[in-house]
Structure 1
């Protein structure tokens, strides 16, 4: 069965897209830990990050780095944190989270944003790529 991320890749479910290329997609997390919380995924459905072929894994990390640099230019934060958990969706995804303090990485404190805020943030991050 296709994951929710595969459905996003196929355009069956909308997302707040930041960037994409032939192999990877970056979009805002709709249940964010912090404003600007972004997910970077391979378009190919792969359950576990270390099951990826090495060049595909390295490509995802390079893509994620590029997005993180744009996030730092867009969102006022101390740094961008990186997490790969993979328990909630069986599709590899890298969390890029603008950090103000350690609680932003705990996946327990969430922020609420209006659709217009998501759209504006995605647009601004894209401009900074």
Structure 2
């Protein structure tokens, strides 16, 4: 069965994309800890990040860096955090999270529901700070 991320990439579920290339996508989290919380996801369904081939892992990090740089410009946090957790969805993904303090990286603080228009606005703001 396809992961929720594959279903989003295939258009079967909605997603707020901010980045797409041949190897990965970056989409806003539907349960963000902070505004702009983005997931960098390889197109290949790889469960554990340690199983990601090194070349793809390097590419995911470059995309996370690009997204994080755009988050700094778009949302002006103190820092941008990066987490690879991997328990909630069996498909590797990097959480790129604007943050002001360590609580901004606590998944217990994730919003259970965000209005779609709020996510769409955050995605547009972030996309406007990404390279073309």
> Quick check: 1:104 aligned with 2:104?
yes
C-alpha separation between the residues in 2 aligned to 1:15 and 1:93?
15
Unaligned 5+ segments in structure 1 are none
CA deviation after TM superposition for structure 1 residue 76, in Å = 2.5
In the alignment, structure 2 segments of 5+ residues that lack a partner are: none
Match of 1:33? 33
Alignment correspondent of 1:7:
7
SS at match of 2:7: helix
Structure 2 partner of 1:91: 91
TM-score normalised by the chain length of structure 2: 0.93
Query: How many aligned residue pairs are there?
Result: 129
Instruction: Give the CA deviation at 1:114.
Output: 2.0
In structure 1, the partner of 2:16 is: 16
The residue that corresponds to 1:57 in the other structure is 57
C-alpha distance in 1 between matches for 2:64 and 2:17 = 14
- RMSD between aligned residues: 1.0
Cα distance in 1 for residues equivalent to 2:77 and 2:45: 31
Match of 2:119?
118
Distance in 1 (CA, whole Å) between partners of 2:11 and 2:44 is: 14
| TM-score in terms of structure 1 length | 0.95
For 1:36 and 1:48, the matched residues in 2 are separated by 24
- Moved beyond 6 Å, runs of 4+: none
Secondary structure of 2:107's counterpart equals coil
